Structure 1
Amino acid sequence: MTSNGTETPDTDRLMYEDLAVGDRFEAERTVTFSREGIVDFAADYDPQPFHLDDDVDDASPFDGLVASGLHSYCVCNRLATEAFFGRVAFLGGRGVDDLRWHRPVKPGDTLTVAVEVVDKRPSESDPRRGYVDVDVTGQTPEGDAAVTWRVLGMIQRGGSAATSEE
């Protein structure tokens, strides 16, 4: 993705062969969670009391209002798309593994994203694509993880491997 949210032309996208295990991509921006944004998201998608109001009962494990984990995931997924998925010839995901929330996100908290390539292998069934798995970490500016997950992705291959027929 370009800075204005439009798609990057295919000629500028990184292909399967351009990526290596250990490559790291970081979001260029951060997102700060507001009280209003937390409550609005929760009202629409995850209306738990601790996502809707500062005054929660003693049964809540949180001290006051916290963002829905789904909210922090969605915000960080957008940043991951800007940092990585929009920069590569991404063909879609095969799944998401190991989604974890490590700390509550509260009003005023700021998150950014880092994406790291952790595995890659060519497809055995389609020479036009390869499998690239990445770990996504939504983190505070200090580097403390708030949310993490692994994307099992498919990336377009280039060169002779992509044009040969089986």
Structure 2
Amino acid sequence: MSKIEARLAELGVTLPDAPAPAANYVPWVISGKQVFISGQISQNAGGMIKGKLGADLSVEQGAEAAKACAISLLAQVKAATGGEIDRVVRLVKLVGFVNSGPEFVDQPKVINGASDFMVAVLGDAGRHARSAVSAASLPFGVAVEIEAVFEIA
């Protein structure tokens, strides 16, 4: 078992298979020592996590949706590295989109669900640059979508 997967197991998380793309794009691209992961929508074993923050979902529920995106991001980087997830050197950047209305201003607190999880899994290598922005809607009505850039060895 890899070091990262051992840490995930300590946190009670098993990586799922990397989700298939929902349209005409690839789930990841490697360029040099970076892996660009396409946006991962909020979903878990129970299906898509849908709703609008500030109307249908609380900040805490949004943070859990963001954590679900982070798990999918790690599944994608594992696929990109041919199953060798310990090739991850660091998480460089997250870009988080939060399905929210014009009065909702806690997008950073929602995306913290992913950021906090990445630091819990990767330690200092999980500290990253980040954007957290509002979106009037997201694909399939999901609550959160997050893309990432990882550095790999």
Structure possessing the higher radius of gyration over alpha carbons: 1
- TM-score after normalising by structure 2: 0.32
Q: 1 or 2 for the larger relative contact order (CA 8 Å, sep ≥6)?
A: 2
- TM-score after normalising by structure 1: 0.30
